């Protein structure tokens, strides 16, 4: 989709530190990391949020979740524990309206989140 920064990363038009990719997903390091490991896992398909992905292409949801797990293992944070976050909508601090999962690890997390 035009004017979508994550579509531009999928297309290779904007550089990103890609750590994993497959048929359905691309994973790259967040520009402003909030933990020692902070990777964004996104569907190649442009949808505004994960709920829309479930409605438009339910067969792509499992690959997205599997990619999160694969990234956590690859980053070495799977055993200690990591957080997977979907911010959905403005009040939840979603700023990029192309579905993405934050994968955060490498430090202790607090709960509840702020
Ligand atoms: P949100 O706030 O929408 O849940 O998360 C969007 C994330 O995308 C933010 O953590 C932000 O740092 C990251 N981000 C925004 N623009 C870029 C970019 O051009 N490259 C990368 N690697 N991350 C980005
Ligand atoms: Zn997009």
Residue 88 near ligand 1, beta carbon < 6 Å: no
Share of the chain above pLDDT 70, in %: 100
**Residue 11: inside a domain:** yes
pLDDT tier for residue 78 given thresholds of 50, 70 and 90: very high
**Residue 111: inside a domain:** no
**Residue 57: inside a domain:** yes
| Virtual torsion, Cα 95, 101, 107, 108, nearest 10 deg | 90
Q: Is residue 100 pLDDT above 90, yes or no?
A: yes
CB 39 within 8 A of CB 75: yes
CA of 32 to the centre of ligand 1 (A): 7
Average pLDDT, the chain: 97
By alpha-carbon position, which residue is closest to atom 24 of ligand 1? 31
**Residue 33: inside a domain:** yes
Q: In the Cβ-directed half-sphere of 83, how many Cα atoms lie within 13 Å?
A: 17
Range of the domain at 75: 5-105
**Residue 110: inside a domain:** no
Catalytic status, residue 38:
no
3-56 residue pLDDT tens: 999 999 999 999 999 999 999 999 999 999 999 999 999 999 999 999 999 999
Residue 16 near ligand 1, beta carbon < 6 Å: yes
Q: Is residue 1 pLDDT above 90, yes or no?
A: no
Q: Is residue 114 pLDDT above 90, yes or no?
A: no
Pick from 34, 28, 35, 31: which is nearest to 11 by CA?
28
**Token code pair at residue 101:** 């999962």
**Residue 112: inside a domain:** no
Q: Is the pTM of this model over 0.90?
A: yes
**Residue 64: inside a domain:** yes
Q: What is the ipTM of this complex?
A: 0.99
In CATH, what number is assigned to the domain containing residue 51?
A: 3.30.428.10
CA of 84 to the centre of ligand 2 (A): 20
DSSP letter assigned to residue 3: T
How many domains are there within the chain? 1
């Amino acid at each position: 989709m035009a004017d979508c920064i994550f579509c531009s990363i999928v297309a290779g038009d904007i550089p990103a530190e890609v750590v994993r990719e497959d048929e359905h997903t691309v994973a790259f390091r967040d520009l402003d990391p909030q933990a020692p490991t902070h990777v964004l896992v996104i569907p190649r398909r442009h949808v505004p949020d994960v709920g829309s992905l479930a409605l438009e292409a339910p067969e792509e949801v499992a690959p997205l979740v599997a990619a999160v797990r694969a990234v956590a293992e690859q980053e070495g944070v799977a055993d200690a524990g990591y957080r997977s976050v979907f911010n959905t909508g403005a009040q939840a601090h979603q700023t990029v309206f192309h579905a993405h999962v934050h994968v955060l690890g490498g430090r202790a997390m607090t709960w509840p989140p702020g």
